[in-house]
Structure 1
Amino acid sequence: MNELEIYLESLIHFTESEMKRFTSLFAEIRLKKSDYFAKEGEFSTRLAFVSNGVLRAFFRNDAGSEYNKTFFTPPSFVAAYSSITTKRRNLINIQCLTDCTLFVADFTQLTALYKDYPKFESLARILAEYKFAIKEKREIELVTLEATKRYEIFKIEHPNLENLINQYHIASYLGITPTQLSRIRAKK
Structure 2
Amino acid sequence: MFPLHDALPQNSNPPYILVSSKDTYSNGEKITVSLTTTDTALIKGFMIQARKANGDILVGSFEVSNADAQTLTCKSPADAVSHTDSNLKSNIQVTWTAPDVLTGNVMFRATVVKSKKTFWTNVVSTALIYNNKVSNTTTTALNGHTVTALNGHTATTSHGSSNSGFRLSASFTFGLMLGVLTVIAFLLGI
Under a length normalisation based on structure 1, what TM-score does the superposition of the two structures give?
0.27
Q: 1 or 2, which has the higher strand percentage?
A: 2
Larger helix fraction of residues: 1
Query: Highest Rg: 1 or 2?
Result: 2
